Amino acid sequence: MDWLSKNLPYLMAGISVGGQYALIAIGYTMVYGILRLINFAHGDIFMCAGLIMVYSVTVMPMYLAIPFVLVTTVLIGFLVERVAYKPLRSAPRMSVMISAIGVSYLLQNLALYITGGLAQQYPTIPWISDVITVFGVTTKRVTVITPFLVILLVVSLVFLIQKTKIGMAMRAASKDFETSQLMGIKINSVISFTFIIGSFLAAVGSLLFFSNYTGVTPTVGAMPGLKAFVAAVFGGIGSIPGAVIGAFIIGISENIIKGLGWTTFSDAFTFALLIVVLICKPTGLFGEAATDKV
């Protein structure tokens, strides 16, 4: 029991942070699956969701603010695709990537301008921010809910992709972009839909992440974004289950490393792990050619 109460906090933090990385990683992996584009602005959309929450609770009650954050974040994701990526659809892939980096810096600097560069305190969301005790370990309720919520969202996402018409269109687009266009799939709406799902999950991730780690700064999206990207590559970019499992592995192992006392190396470890996986299995854990790349 003593051993449990000493080590459980690391595991819980790891699973919870892993779940939050997973929600961001899905956005990376889906966009890559269809467009073969690494959407560098994704971490910043996550940050925007946090900032919108900070500012929206000052003008509206919490039960309105949460749906408002989800809707506006989705809108930002949608607009970013329409404005910065769609006009470059036939351009070389490198141009789109540079455009993504541009969007990333644009969002960061806009946030810098709005916040004045200071950390904003994230509002307390009732119920999920309550402090609870699990097996003698004190933590916030959000830590415990996160993994379940993530699994629920992922299952419904997989269902959406496997069973619905738009899901089929997404699968087709990820298999062969041009052919699916010739087959009458409205490729632009499929892509927009992908960005909408990705941004929605990033917004949910931000609600969970910032409830635990309450400071929102303009660059706060960079690290979680990078880690989620690593998770997506780790699991095999393009594969949703891969991204989720990769995210949990990264979240848990970086907290175990901290628990072992090697706090200095927790980030170094994450990226070393990426290198090792890429050397041994260049396509990532689940990134085989046969996998559906959605």
Partner 1 sequence: MKKKLMSVVVAASIAAMSIGAVPAMADTVKIGVYEPASGDNGAGGKQETLGMQYANSIAPKVEIGGTEYDVELDIVDNESSNDKGPSAASKLVGDGVSVVLGSYGSGVSIAASDIFKEGGVPAIGVTCTNPQVTQGNTHYFRICFLDPFQGSVLANFASENFGAKKAYCLAKLGDDYSQGLVFYFTKAFEALGGEVVKADFPEGNSDFTSYITEAKNAGCDVFFTPTSTEAAANTIEQAAAQGLEIPLLAGDTWDSNVILNAAKGKNVKIYVTTFYQEGGNADFDTGMKEFINSDATNVANNGGDDTIAAVSAMGYDAYFTALEALKAAGTTDPAAVNEALWNVTYDGVSGHIEFDSENGDAIRSSAFVKVVNTETGAWDFVSEQTVSE
Give the single-character DSSP code of 75: H
Shortest separation between residue 258's beta carbon and partner 1, angstroms: 4
> In terms of CB distance, is 34 or 228 closer to partner 1?
228
Give the Cα-Cα-Cα angle 78, 216, 9 (nearest 5 degrees): 110
* Three-state secondary-structure class, residue 126: coil
Q: Pick out residues in 107-146 that bind partner 1 (CB under 8 A).
A: 112, 116-119, 121, 131, 137-140
Q: Does 219 bind partner 1 (CB under 8 A)?
A: yes
* Three-state secondary-structure class, residue 137: strand
Q: Which of 39, 56, 73, 212 binds partner 1 (CB under 8 A)?
A: 212
Q: Does 6 bind partner 1 (CB under 8 A)?
A: yes
Q: Does 17 bind partner 1 (CB under 8 A)?
A: yes
Which helix (H) or strand (E) segment holds residue 211: the answer is helix 187-212
Q: Which of 36, 175, 186, 258 binds partner 1 (CB under 8 A)?
A: 258
Q: Does 214 bind partner 1 (CB under 8 A)?
A: yes
Which helix (H) or strand (E) segment holds residue 132: the answer is strand 131-134
Q: What's the token pair of residue 97?
A: 């990537």
**Helix pair angle (266-280, 222-234), 10° resolution:** 30
The candidate with the shortest Cα–Cα distance to 143, out of 211, 200, 85, is 211
In which residue are the tokens 């603010």 written? 65
Q: Does 13 bind partner 1 (CB under 8 A)?
A: yes
Please choose, out of 4-12, 31-39, 163-171, 281-289, the segment that lies near partner 1 by the rule CB under 8 A. 4-12
Q: Does 253 bind partner 1 (CB under 8 A)?
A: no
Task: Return residues touching partner 1 (CB under 8 A).
Answer: 6, 9-10, 13, 17, 112, 116-119, 121, 131, 137-140, 212-215, 217, 219-220, 222-223, 255, 258-259, 261, 263-264, 266-267
